Amino acid sequence: MQLPPPKPKKCLFVLADGAGDRPIKRLGNKTPYQLARTPNLDHLSKIGEDGLMDPIAPGIRPGSDTSHLQLFGYDPYKYYSGRGPIEALGVGLELQEGDIAFRCNFATIKDGIVIDRRAGRIREGTHELAKAVNEIAITSVPGVRIIFKESTEHRAALVLRGKSLSPQISTNDPHLAGRPPMKVLPIEHTEAAIRTAKALNEFIEKSHKVLRSHPVNRGRELPANYLLCRGAGKLVRPPSFEQEHGIKGTVIAAEGMIKGVGSLLGMEVIHPKGATGGYDTNLYAKADAAVEALKRSDFVFLHIKETDLAGHDGDPEKKVAVIEDIDKMLGYLLKKIDMGSTIVVFTSDHSTPCSVRNHSADPVPIVIAGGDVRIDYVTHFDELSATEGELRIRGKDLFPILMDLMGRAKKFGA
Amino acid sequence: MQLPPPKPKKCLFVLADGAGDRPIKRLGNKTPYQLARTPNLDHLSKIGEDGLMDPIAPGIRPGSDTSHLQLFGYDPYKYYSGRGPIEALGVGLELQEGDIAFRCNFATIKDGIVIDRRAGRIREGTHELAKAVNEIAITSVPGVRIIFKESTEHRAALVLRGKSLSPQISTNDPHLAGRPPMKVLPIEHTEAAIRTAKALNEFIEKSHKVLRSHPVNRGRELPANYLLCRGAGKLVRPPSFEQEHGIKGTVIAAEGMIKGVGSLLGMEVIHPKGATGGYDTNLYAKADAAVEALKRSDFVFLHIKETDLAGHDGDPEKKVAVIEDIDKMLGYLLKKIDMGSTIVVFTSDHSTPCSVRNHSADPVPIVIAGGDVRIDYVTHFDELSATEGELRIRGKDLFPILMDLMGRAKKFGA
C-alpha cells in the first residue's frame, strides 16, 4: 500500500557555539555535554541520527566565521575575506567596494600597557563612545574617512573608506594583557598598505584621546579608553543564500560576527530583544523568533554564544549550566514546532575546550532529527556517545545532507 | 571555576612499520594485534582516542617512504621523488642537484640466475664490499662518477653523479629469485636516459666482477656477488620540518629509508647504538634515545621495523611476538615521560598482512593519548576494536590533529 506523497520540509538549525569539549579531570574525565542533564537533546538523539563532524577538516581549528560559512553551504577557502568585513556587516554597516573593515575591542590602557583587552567587558555606554569616535577626521592620508560602530559588550567594528587601501597591515592588539599595544605596520610593500597603516595609526591615537576624556569612562575601574583593531579584510561578496540554494534563510543571533555572516549571505538577520550574546541572554526570545521565522523561511538558524564564552573563560561548571539552560529552551522550542515537517539539527561550529580556552580542532557532536530521518543507536547527546552514531562527516557535507532531508537536493545523474 | 591556562605540549610518535594485518585462519581468524597481549597499548587505548587511518587514501597501498612523508605533514604527491634519493640520504650520502640515486640490494647470482635477492640477508662485511665497489670508474659515459654506500643488512645506496642524467630508466632487479637479472633500459627517449642506463649497466657489470672475487664472500653460502639497483630518483627538496611546522623534530630509526625521510626534511636523525632494523634490534636503546630527544625536540618519532619484516616474511607467530616485545618497550618508555605534557601516538605507516607478504591498503589502527585528548570506548589496540573509536582519518589529517592537540595549530578564521 502506497505511502502518502512526500512534501518538502523546513529546517531548524540550532547551534551552540564552541560547545564541543575534551574530558575534564575535575569533572571525572567527562566533557560538559556528558555531564549535563539534557533530556531534550537526548530525545533528539533517540529519534534521530547522531555523529561527529569536523567543521572544516580533521585537525583544522575553525574560526566561528569560517565555520558558519561552511555550515551555510559556502566554501570558506573561497569566500572568507577576514573577520573585519563580517563584524562590520554584523553591526549593520553597509560596506562598499574597496572598504577595509576591522573588528575592534574597547580595551583599557594604563601607563602605555593594555591592562584589560575588553575594558571589563563593558556593557553600558558603548553607543555614546562610538558616536564620539565616529567624529574623528583622518588628516594624515587624504581622502580617507572612518565609520565606527559598537557591537555587543566590548566589541565594535571599524571601516576605513577611501581609494587605494589594503588589508595587508598588522594589528595593534598585543593579544595578551600586560603588554603595550603595537604600532600598525604594512605587511606588504605597497603604497596602499603603507597608506592604510598610516591612517589606522592616526585613528588609534585620536580615538585614545577621545575615549580617555569621555564622560562614559568617568568612574569606571576599567575605562574603555583604547581601541584594539584586528581582522583587517576587504569584502568578497558571495552569491546570496537564496540564489545559491533556492531557499529562504533566516539567522537569529545576537553576536555581531554571526549576524555578519548572515548579512554577507543576504539572509534575513534577526536580533531578538533581550538576546545579548552574553550569559544573561534571553534564549526564549530567540526560540520565539525561530518559531515565527519558520512560518516564512525554509532554513532558520538559531545561534547561541554562551557555550563558547564558557569555553574561552575556561569554566567547565559554567559550561554545564549553560548547556542545561539551552536544553530547557530546546524543550520549549520543540513543543512549538511540527517535527513531522521540520528537520531539526543541533550541533556546534567548533569545540572550545575549557582546558584550551580557545577553539580546537576536535570534532563536534551533531544530531539530526525530525521528518523521516534515520534513527541510530545513540541515545545521549555528547562527544563520546556520538562516536557510535551514523554520521562521521565534515562541515561541507552537512548543508547537502540537510537539503536532501528537506526534499530539496538536486539529483546528480538520472 | 576557571581551569589553569593551557601550555603547549610535545609529541612522542611511535610507529610499528607494517604492523596492521588481516585475519589469519590459523590464528583463529584473528590478526596479530588481536592475538598479542599488549597491556601498554591497551592502556593507551583506554585513556585516549582510537580509530583507523588510511595512510594515503582508501585503497592506496602506501610505501613506507610516501607514508612517512605524509605522517610528517608533507604531501607525498608533491614531495616524493622515488626511493633512491631517500635511501641515499638515509645512509648519510650528501646529494647534489642533478644526482640520480638508487636503492640497492646485495644479492646472490649463480649461473646467470638471481638465487637470493638479499644474499642471505648478509650482515658482516658489507662495509668492505662497499669500499671496493666505490673504486669503480665509469668509462662508457664521460663525466659520470659513482658513490656507493652500504646500509643495514643487504641494503645499500648508489648515486650516479654527472651532467645530464635522468631517473627515467628501468631496474635490473627481477623482483623474484630464480630469474636472471634484467638489462637496464631507458624508459623515455632522451639522451639523458640513454646515458644513465648505459652508465648503470657498466656499473652493475663491473661491480659483479669486484664482488665475486672479494674476500668477504669467500666461504659464504650465499655470496653477496651482485647488485640489484632500483628506485631511481632525482631529489626534490621540501621545506624543512622546522620551516614548515615551526617546531623541532627528531627521527629515531635504524632503517635507511626512514632516516632518509628524516634527513630529507632536515630533522634531527638518531640511529641509537644497538638498533639494527632487524629482529635483533635493541628497542630499549630507541626508547632511551626518545626520552633524551624529548628534552630538546617538540616532535619525537620512534620507528620500529620488525613488524614489517614479519609481515614480509609471512610469519604471523613472529609478528605476534614482535608486537609483544614492542608493547613491553612501550611500557618502559611510558614510565619515563610525562603524559600530561606529551601527546603520545602509536600507529603504522601501512599494513603488511602476513598473507600478502607485502604492503596492503588496509587502514591501520591508531591511538592518540596524553594531555587532555578525548577518551572513547575503545579499550584494546587492534584493527577490530579500532572500528569503534572516534577517529576515521587519512594520513594527511594526522599531523594537523597532532598540532592541534599540542596547542600549536593556527586558527582558520576568527
* pLDDT (tens digit per residue) in A299-321: 999 999 999 999 999 999 999 99
Nearest CA in chain A to B411: A61
**Domain closes at, from A214, A234, A254:** A234
Residue B14 grid cell: 611511535
User: Do A230 and A242 reside in the same domain of the chain?
Assistant: no
Q: For cell 534575513, what's the residue?
A: A268
In a domain, B142, yes or no: yes
Claim to verify: residue A75 and residue A141 sit in the same structural domain: no
Residues of chain B contacting A56 with CB distance shorter than 8 Å: 412
pLDDT of the residue at A152? 85
> Cβ B400–A354 below 8 Å, yes or no?
no
Q: Is the pLDDT of residue A381 over 90?
A: yes
What is the residue whose three cell numbers read 621540501? B238
Spell out which residues of chain B touch residue A356, defining contact as CB-CB under 8 Å: 6, 372, 407
Spell out which residues of chain A touch residue B367, defining contact as CB-CB under 8 Å. none
User: Is there a single domain that holds both residue A372 and residue A263?
Assistant: yes
Q: Do A353 and B373 touch (CB under 8 A)?
A: no
Instruction: Out of B392, B397, B407, name the one closest to residue A59 (CB).
Output: B397
CA distance B161 to B7: 48
Domain region containing A169? 86-234
The predicted structure's pLDDT at residue B146? 97
B77-88: burial string, b at 16+ Cβ within 10 Å, e else? eebbbbbbbbbb
Q: Are residues A219 and A317 in the same domain?
A: no
pLDDT value for B277: 86
For residue A231, the chain B residue with the least C-alpha distance is: B414
Determine the distance in angstroms separating the CA of A164 from the nearest CA of chain B, rounded to an integer.
25
Among candidates B372, B398, B401 on the partner chain, residue whose Cβ is nearest the Cβ of A355: B372
CB neighbour list of residue A372: distance below 8 Å, 6 or more residues apart: none
Could you tell me if residue B1 is inside a domain? no
- The answer to which of A53-67, A89-103, A214-228 has the lowest mean pLDDT is A89-103
A384 and B404 within 8 Å at the Cβ level: the answer is no
Degrees to nearest 5, angle at CA B307 with B24 and B358: 65
CA distance between the termini of chain A: 26
- CB-nearest to A231 from B2, B399, B414 is B414
CA atoms of A227 and A225, how far apart (whole Å): 7
Q: Does one domain contain both A275 and A383? A: yes
Closest partner residue to A315 (CB to CB) among B1, B407, B412 is B1
CB contact under 8 A, B404 and A67: no
Contacts of A363 in chain B (CB under 8 A): 390
Q: Would you call A59 and B398 a contact, using CB atoms and an 8 Å cutoff?
A: yes
**Minimum Cα–Cα distance from A359: chain B residue:** B411
Query: Under 8 Å CB-to-CB from A141, ≥6 apart: which residues?
Result: A162, A195, A196, A198, A199, A202
User: Does residue B179 sit in the same domain as residue B250?
Assistant: no
> CB-based contacts of A385: which residues, under 8 Å, 6+ apart?
A45, A50, A365, A378, A379
Of all residues in chain A, the one with the smallest CA distance to B73 is: A59
Does the residue A412 lie in any domain?
no
Measured between CA atoms, the residue of chain A closest to residue B414 is A63
Residue A265's SS3 state is coil
| Chain B residues whose beta carbon lies within 8 Å of the beta carbon of residue A57 | 397, 400
Task: Write the residue in A59, A67, A384 that is nearest to B376 by C-beta.
Answer: A384
**Residue of A286, A306, A302 whose CA lies nearest to A249:** A302
pLDDT value of residue B36? 98
Residue keyed to cell 576536535: A362
Question: Where is B319: in which H helix or E strand?
Answer: helix B316-335
Residue A58 has pLDDT above 90, yes or no: yes
- Please tell me the predicted confidence (pLDDT) of residue B189: 94
Nearest to A356 among B6, B375, B412 (CB): B6
- Number of structural domains (chain B) is 2
Residue of A nearest to B386 (CA): A387
CB pairs under 8 A between A and B: 107
* pLDDT tens profile A345-364: 999 999 999 999 999 999 99
* A22/B389 touch (CB, cutoff 8 Å), yes or no: no
A235 band by pLDDT with thresholds 50, 70 and 90: confident
User: Is the Cβ pair A76, B413 closer than 8 Å?
Assistant: yes
Which residues of chain B approach chain A closer than 8 Å at the C-beta? 1-6, 372-377, 388-390, 392-394, 397-404, 407, 409-414
Please indicate whether, in this complex, the C-beta atoms of B374 and A354 are within 8 angstroms of each other: no
Closest residue of chain A to B400, computed from CA coordinates: A59
**Do B397 and B252 sit in the same domain of this protein?**
yes
Q: Which of B1, B374, B412 sits opposite A63 (nearest CB)?
A: B412
Is residue B241 domain-shared with residue B375, that is, in the same domain?
yes
B250 and B133 co-located in one domain: no
In the predicted structure, residue A402 carries a pLDDT above the cut 90: yes
A10: exposed, middle or buried (Cβ count in 10 Å: 0-12, 13-18, 19+): buried
CB atoms within 10 A of CB A182: 14
Which residue of chain B is at minimal alpha-carbon distance from A353?
B372
**From the CA of B283, how many Å to the nearest CA of chain A?**
31
Radius of gyration for chain A, computed over Cα atoms and rounded to the nearest angstrom: 22
In a domain, A4, yes or no: no
> With an 8 Å Cβ cutoff, are B390 and A387 in contact?
yes
Cα of B68 to nearest chain A Cα, Å: 18
Task: Report the residue of chain A nearest B51, measured CA to CA.
Answer: A387
Q: Rounded to a whole number, what is the distance in angstroms from the first to the last CA of chain B? A: 25
Residue B352 in any domain: the answer is: yes
Q: Identify the domain boundary among B233, B253, B274.
A: B233
Residue B387 distance to chain A (closest CA, Å): 10
* Contacts B400 to A, Cβ<8 Å: 57-60, 361
Interface test with A, best of B1, B2, B3 (most A CBs within 10 A): B3
Same domain? A34 vs A146: no
Q: Which of A90, A396, A74 is nearest to A231 (CA)?
A: A90
Minimum-distance CB partner of A59 among B6, B404, B414: B404
Q: Which residue of B lies nearest to A82 if distances are taken between CA atoms?
A: B413
What was the pLDDT predicted at B256?
Answer: 86
B23, part of any domain: yes
- The residue among A234, A249, A279 that closes a domain is A234
Give the Cα-Cα-Cα angle B81, B87, B91 (nearest 5 degrees). Answer: 145
| Neighbouring C-alpha atoms within 13 Å toward the C-beta of B212 | 12
Whether residue B5 is contained in a domain is answered as: no
* pLDDT tens sequence for chain B (414 residues): 899 999 999 999 999 999 999 999 999 999 999 999 999 999 999 999 999 999 999 999 999 999 999 999 999 999 998 889 999 998 999 998 889 999 999 999 999 999 999 999 999 999 999 999 999 999 999 999 999 999 889 999 999 999 999 999 999 999 999 999 999 999 999 999 999 999 999 999 999 999 999 999 999 999 999 999 999 999 888 999 999 999 999 999 999 889 999 999 999 999 999 998 889 999 999 999 999 999 999 999 999 999 999 999 999 999 999 999 999 999 999 999 999 999 999 999 999 999 999 999 999 999 999 999 999 999 999 999 999 999 999 999 999 999 999 999 999 998
What phi, psi does A400 have (nearest 5°)?
Answer: -60, -40
Q: Tell me if A291 is assigned to some domain.
A: yes
Inter-chain CB proximity B414 and A357 less than 8 Å = no
Question: What CATH number does residue B54 fall under?
Answer: 3.40.720.10
Contact B375 A67 (CB under 8 A): no
| Chain A neighbors of B409, CB-CB under 8 A | 59-61, 361
Residues of B in contact with A173 (CB under 8 A): none
| Share of residues in chain A with pLDDT > 90 (%) | 95
Residues A237-257, buried b or exposed e (16+ Cβ, 10 A)?
ebeebbebbebbbbbbbbbbb
Choose from A21, A61, A382 for mutation: most chain B CBs within 10 A: A61
Domain co-membership, A390 together with A273: yes
Q: Supply the DSSP string of B10-43, one letter for each residue.
A: EEEEEEETTBB---BGGGTSB-HHHHS--HHHHH
d(CA A46, CA A62): 28
Residue A238 has pLDDT above 90, yes or no: yes
d(CA B250, CA B39): 27
In chain B, which residues have their Cβ closer than 8 Å to the Cβ of A358? 6, 411
B412 and A62 within 8 Å at the Cβ level: the answer is yes
d(CA B364, CA B311): 14
Q: Average of pLDDT values for A74-91? A: 93
Pick B414's closest partner by Cβ from A59, A83, A314.
Answer: A83
How near does any CA of chain B get to the CA of A97, in Å? 21
| Cα nearest neighbour of B398 on chain A | A59
Please tell me whether residues B109 and B205 are part of one structural domain: yes
Asked if A62's CB is within 8 angstroms of B3's CB, the reply is no
